[in-house]
Structure 1
Amino acid sequence: MSRVAINELTGIRTRHPEAVAEAAASRRRRTRLIGPSGRLMIIAADHPARGALAVGASPLAMANRFDLLERLCLALSRPGVDGVLATADILDDLLLLGALHDKVVMGSMNRGGLAGAVFELDDRFTGHRPQDLARLGFDAGKLLLRIDYQDPASLDTLHSAARVVDEMAAHRLPVFVEPFICHRTDGRLHTDLSAGAITRSIAIASGLAGTSAYTWLKVPVPDDPEAMASVMETSTLPAVILGGDIGTDQDGVYAKWHRALRLPTVQGLVVGRSLLYPADGDVAAAVDTAVGLL
């Protein structure tokens, strides 16, 4: 999409807000979550709604919405990219730009745990509700499940997450659960990426709600990538590997993803910042490399 087309979005929103619902209703939908490749390649862009705008050394890299939309449209146009994970504001823009035809559209559901806030673990569902995803004809939802054994707010998140999994199953919509064990050090929240912590988080997430029929897992590669095989034996639920901010060792991270993708429960990748904002600035090449791993 050209910058001129993107610049028209505010005018459309101002004069004809119904255009979002109209674009959702006319969107060409895929018949299945998994496409012809047998794998799933999703571009993630739900970070801004939590105030998480940094990429690498740039604290506001994702703040420019026009730039982000151009990068997303380019990534979605590449062969082998199945769809996008984002919050309502970004998905509404992409609908208006016509960028979501034949794509998996995944709504991000709980973004209330703002990055760095004292209430970060009180991760309330401030984004898409299950009924919103069903009404708009979207294909799946995603929720973040961060658990700190020392923070009572984790129980509220755990309980609300379980009920959302129930609601998604009632709509027959897949829900991708992204679980982490966390802890605070000097007031800052840190994610435990040890194999043991990821194993526990997968076990907890797999047991949420009254059914797991529509539940997927979204998991990281542990600090010790050799432990990934045993970690993924914790559940039979289908899983995708998340990306995160990969820093400068891009080749090393790609190698970890490649090894993880050989495991029987791993069905694909959900990656955002590292593909949308690669160190060399070449979005198309970064996306094509990730697709090649599948």
Structure 2
Amino acid sequence: MAEPVVDPAGLTGAELVRALTTTRAQDPGAIARAAAARPRRERLLGESGRLMLLAADHPARGALRVADDPLAMADRGELLRRIAVALSRPGVDGFLGTPDLVEDLLLMGALDDLVVLGSMNRGGLAGTTFEIDDRMTGYDADAIAAGGLDGGKMLLRVDPEDPATAATLESCAHAVSALAGHRLMAMVEPFISHRVDGRVRNDLSVEAVIRSATVAAGLGTTSAYTWLKLPVLAEMERVADATTLPVLLLGGEASIDQPETLDRWQRALKLPTVFGMIVGRALLYPPDGDVATAVDKTVGLL
């Protein structure tokens, strides 16, 4: 294991932020060195044949809310502390995030031997008039390959009434092709979306999710490296039957303390095309604040 540039052990959130910021200011090259030295996992899927990933790419879209707190994810030291706890739990396979968070975790040595996916399109900022024009403003395929990451993730919201959808579709298709050129996973998270009272809302009907999955599966010059990230529905069997691509379940904001949430996840995980889960805020900000227990409970489903 590589020695962390910034050892988070014993540091408060504020002290961790200070140490990371000092390193960034005085030695920015430390990030590239940490990436080069990071021990990598040989295969995406672990011994269980499953994949359990932690997601934290929400802040780059200005989406900081958890439950009733609009700025819950704004405290970077606290967010990093929670991520580090989650990644340290047995059964967690990796992390999905934007460059700033991935690089903080690299400096902390928190990504060793884990699958790491880079978040690519964060341009469709939450609550803006241009939200559907979700441009590639984060990682690109070349940077993901050069940084030793295992793949890239993109959000694809298809709004039938917003012309910006066409540009987003095209950019996601190019990203899928570029990642495949490097033989790296392209994780596509598709939705059919509509504006309701000025806000973009995702249609979670089974028909809409099936349609979005089939559109995403056809993006790019090859689908050989494409995976889908899909929401969990009551009729998940119909969704899973719509594609031969590997699927990871989207955890969303559902509380893991709700028995119906765990039951729905568990039933979906039994489907042959479902290979695991990507969960973010539900694990990082559980109602009781116990990240380790929330992660262990979810890993138990796998």
- TM-score for both structures, normalised by structure 2: 0.95
RMSD over aligned CA atoms reads 1.0
Q: Distance in 1 between matches of 2:16 and 2:126?
A: 32
For residue 277 of structure 2, what is the aligned residue in structure 1? 269
**Partner of residue 292, structure 1:** 300
Q: 1:276·1:283 contact (CA, 8 Å) conserved in 2?
A: yes
Q: Identity of counterpart residues, as a percentage? A: 57
Match of 2:31 in 1: 20
Match of 2:22 in 1: 11
- Select which of 257, 280, 291 maps to 1:283: 291
Counterpart position of 2:222: 211
1:263 partner amino acid: L
SS in 1 for 2:241: helix
**Which of the numbers 140, 159, 177 marks the counterpart of 1:129?**
140
> Is the Cα–Cα contact under 8 Å of residues 202 and 235 in structure 1 kept in the other structure?
yes
What's the counterpart of residue 266 of structure 2? 258
Alignment partners' CA distance in 2, 1:94 and 1:248: 25
Does the Cα contact within 8 Å between 1:147 and 1:180 map onto a contact in 2? yes
Distance 1:171 1:29 in 2: 16
- Are residues 1:43 and 2:51 paired? no
The structure 1 segments of at least 4 consecutive aligned residues displaced by more than 4 Å after TM superposition are none
- Asked whether the equivalents of residues 255 and 286 of structure 2 are also in contact (C-alpha less than 8 Å), the reply is no
- Take 2:95 and 2:109, find their aligned partners in 1: how far apart are those partners? 13
Greater Cα shift, 242-251 or 125-134: 242-251
Aligned mates of 2:201, 2:261 — CA distance in 1: 20
Matched AA of 2:85: L
Residue 119 (structure 2) pairs with residue 108 (structure 1): yes
How big is each residue's C-alpha offset from its partner over 1:174-194, in whole Å with a ceiling of 9 and x where there is no partner? 010000000011211111000
CA-CA distance at 1:230 after TM superposition: 1.0
State which of 165, 168, 176 in structure 2 corresponds to 1:165: 176
Letter in 2 for 1:85: L
Q: Letter of the aligned partner of 2:251 in structure 1?
A: G
Please show how residues 223-242 of structure 1 align to structure 2 within 5 Å.
225=234, 227-242=235-250
Please give the secondary structure, in 2, of the residue aligned with 1:113. Answer: coil
Q: Across the two proteins, how many residue pairs are aligned to each other?
A: 291
CA shift, 1:247, in A, is: 4.4
- Alignment partners' CA distance in 2, 1:142 and 1:5: 27
Q: What is the alpha-carbon distance in structure 1 between the residues aligned to residue 221 and residue 286 of structure 2?
A: 40
5+ residue gaps, structure 2: 1-7
Unaligned 5+ segments in structure 1 are: none
CA distance in 2, matches of 1:7, 1:260: 42
Q: Judge conservation of contact 2:16–2:77 (CA < 8 Å) in 1.
A: no
- For the 8 Å contact 1:145–1:177, the answer to whether it is kept is yes
Contact 2:151 2:184 in 1 (8 A): yes
1:293 partner SS? coil
Q: Does the CA-based 8 Å contact 2:99-2:139 persist in structure 1?
A: yes
Q: Residues of 1 paired with 2:17 and 2:199: CA distance?
A: 37
Contact map agreement 1:5 1:97 (CA 8 A) in 2: no
Q: Structure 1 residues 159-168 or 243-252, which shifts more? A: 243-252
Q: Deviations over 1:243-281 (max 9, x none)?
A: 111148632211111110000000000000000000111
Q: Is contact 1:112–1:126 with CA below 8 Å preserved after alignment?
A: yes
Structure 2 distance, partners of 1:114, 1:205, is 21
Contact kept in structure 2, 1:56 and 1:247, CA below 8 Å: no
Structure 2: which amino acid aligns with 1:262? Answer: K
CA deviation map 1:35-86 (0-9, x unaligned) = 1121000000000000000001111000000000000000000000001000
Q: CA deviation at 1:140?
A: 1.1
TM-score (norm 1): 0.97
